[in-house]
Structure 1
């Protein structure tokens, strides 16, 4: 009788070890790809990624079915890196406005620290947009889900209707995401300034829903800031 037929657990063990080895190698190649993106920019070629990993393109493609598969794996890793920054802020208990500010700042800090990785994931220069679009959508949904839970708790605790919580959560997540992308390309203000602007806008809306007074934001002369131009006070 064949040895594996006598001891099928041995065959299963070898298969598990090989699968674990392939997963570990794939992880190492993703990390090498991230280093190549940091050094060469978001438009880095697959050949440059392979060189960074110390392998040839054919060897690289033994672990990824195509470029899109590699992009998706890098996008998933980048998303986890960003979520690692956000999750502690989402879980930390503090005053609502300070919690919002901390979450916004953590997001902006994440993309500021990894600008080329952000561009690779979000804009995919020279790549396939669909390869990472699903990853972006998934993580926006995850963040919006966490915000939704927090809003529902706050609204119910105050005896208010929580029906709009999910819509507001997606609006908040999408606003910070798009504003952060704009800011990374333009850099017309500091990160602190953008964090303050977004925090005031978010809290200004939520405070009305929650029935909490929102702190007034003022300009350098001490006058209340207006979102819509109107008559100047005399």
Structure 2
């Protein structure tokens, strides 16, 4: 059914507004990269070439702006992790690939990560965003683990709980590493892979010998670079 002129104009305005809002989110992200996680709304508006009042025509408040930035940052992180989550690798290699992809994502955007996850000005919003990102990763990971467990003839009932536990552990370790930098990303990927694999290979019925938790497993083990 053809749309009338009023509907067409209304849809066009809505599309332009959505496009403008997306442009402002990108500008806000650029401001975070330039000024750090403590960036002000005024600095984000200036990055978009507008004033705060104009910015707030497109966002309800600072929390709404942070939520939009967080959602966009989460999409970027998931895009970086998608190959590791979807690629058909040996279990241990896939664990290393997923861990390294996550660490690489936060290493590439440290200030954006801090702004989204640890922003004291909007703690409740930050918690919502973290839970959303954690949920997205855990969902994919639990499906992967469940499929692996069923293929090995094992009980897959704990796959979701296991996935959330793994995501939380890697996130906490990543936060620590981002602030301390006492080891390389490859080393941290190796340590976390060794720790996770000790539990995973037994659950999946793999025949490889256990690696001592404190012995670093190279990040390129099983073909992962």
**Distance in 1 of aligned mates of 2:148 and 2:94:** 13
Counterpart check, 1:135 vs 2:132 = no
How much does 1:9 deviate?
1.2
**Distance in 1 of aligned mates of 2:207 and 2:52:** 59
Counterpart check, 1:62 vs 2:51 = no
Q: Deviations over 1:107-141 (max 9, x none)?
A: 1011001000000011004x211123212111211
Q: CA contact under 8 A between 2:194 and 2:215: conserved in structure 1?
A: no
When residues 215 and 27 of structure 1 are mapped into structure 2, their CA distance, relative to the original with a 3 A threshold, is farther
Return structure 1 stretches of 4+ with deviation > 2 angstroms.
213-219
SS of 1:129's partner is helix
Q: CA contact under 8 A between 1:105 and 1:195: conserved in structure 2?
A: yes
Q: CA contact under 8 A between 2:134 and 2:168: conserved in structure 1?
A: yes
Q: CA contact under 8 A between 1:204 and 1:214: conserved in structure 2?
A: no
The residue that corresponds to 1:28 in the other structure is 23
How many residue pairs match? The answer is 215
The residue that corresponds to 1:205 in the other structure is 199
Q: CA contact under 8 A between 1:203 and 1:214: conserved in structure 2?
A: no
**Distance in 2 of aligned mates of 1:208 and 1:215:** 9
SS of 1:43's partner is coil
SS of 2:59's partner is coil
Bigger Cα Rg = 1
**Distance in 1 of aligned mates of 2:97 and 2:177:** 18
**Distance in 1 of aligned mates of 2:140 and 2:62:** 32
The residue that corresponds to 1:166 in the other structure is 160
The residue that corresponds to 1:71 in the other structure is 66
TM-score (norm 1): 0.87
**Distance in 1 of aligned mates of 2:133 and 2:3:** 40
How much does 1:225 deviate?
4.1
Gaps of 5+ in 2: 217-225
TM-score (norm 2): 0.91
Q: Deviations over 1:1-24 (max 9, x none)?
A: xxxxxx971101111000000000
Gaps of 5+ in 1: 1-6, 227-234
SS of 2:188's partner is helix
How much does 1:216 deviate?
4.6
RMSD in angstroms over aligned alpha carbons? 1.8
Counterpart check, 1:52 vs 2:79 = no
Counterpart check, 1:101 vs 2:96 = yes
**Distance in 1 of aligned mates of 2:28 and 2:14:** 21
Aligned match for 1:194, one of 144, 164, 188: 188
SS of 1:212's partner is coil
How much does 1:214 deviate?
4.1
Q: Deviations over 1:151-181 (max 9, x none)?
A: 1111111111111111111111111111101
